[in-house]
Structure 1
Amino acid sequence: MGERAAKWVVAQLEKRGHEAVLVDAAELKLPLLDRMWKEVKNDTSAKHEKLREKLAPLAKLYARADGFCVVSAEYNHSIPPGMTNLLDYFLEEYFFRPSAIVCYSATPYGGVRAAMQLRALLPEVGMPTIPSLQPIPSVGSSLSEEGVALTQELAEKSGKFFDEFDWYMRAMKAERAKGVLS
Structure 2
Amino acid sequence: MSDSILVLYGSYRSDRMGIRLADFIVNGLAARGATPELVDAKAVGLPMLDRMYKEYPEGEAPAAMEALAEKIRRADAFVFVTGEYNWGPQPGLKNLTDHFLEEWFWRPAAIASYSAGRIAGARSGVAWHGILSEMGMVVISSTLSVGPISQTLDENGAPQGKPGEALTGAFGRFADDLAWWTEAARAQRERRDPPF
Tell me the TM-score range normalised by the shorter chain: over 0.9
Partner of 1:10: 26
Unpaired segments ≥5 residues, structure 1: 45-50
Quick check: 1:39 aligned with 2:55?
Answer: yes
* Matched residue count: 176
Quick check: 1:173 aligned with 2:183?
Answer: no
Cα–Cα, structure 1 residues 43 and 157, in superposed 2: closer, same or farther, change >3 Å? closer
Deviation at 1:179, TM superposition (A): 2.7
Match of 2:47, SS? coil
Unpaired segments ≥5 residues, structure 2: 1-16
Quick check: 1:63 aligned with 2:73?
Answer: yes
Partner of 1:24: 40
CA contact (8 A) 1:41 1:56 kept: no
Moved over 2 A (4+): 179-182
Deviation at 1:14, TM superposition (A): 0.6
CA contact (8 A) 1:69 1:100 kept: yes
Q: Kindly provide the CA deviation profile for residues 128-150 of structure 1, in whole angstroms up to 9, marking residues without a partner as x.
A: 21011110110001001111111
- TM norm structure 2: 0.86
Cα–Cα, structure 1 residues 65 and 41, in superposed 2: closer, same or farther, change >3 Å? farther
CA contact (8 A) 2:89 2:127 kept: yes
Alignment of 1:1-182 (within 5 A): 1-42=17-58, 44=60, 52-150=62-160, 151-182=164-195
- Aligned partners of 1:122 and 1:80: how far apart in 2? 14
Q: Kindly provide the CA deviation profile for residues 10-65 of structure 1, in whole angstroms up to 9, marking residues without a partner as x.
A: 01111121111111112222211111111115164xxxxxx520111111111110
Cα–Cα, structure 1 residues 41 and 170, in superposed 2: closer, same or farther, change >3 Å? farther
- Give the counterpart letter for 1:163 in structure 2: D
User: Which protein has the bigger strand share?
Assistant: 2
- Aligned partners of 1:118 and 1:6: how far apart in 2? 16
- Give the counterpart letter for 1:156 in structure 2: G
RMSD over equivalenced CA pairs, Å: 1.3
User: Which protein has the bigger helix share?
Assistant: 1
Residue identity (%): 38
Between 1:102-111 and 1:32-41, the stretch displaced more is 32-41
- Give the counterpart letter for 1:69 in structure 2: V
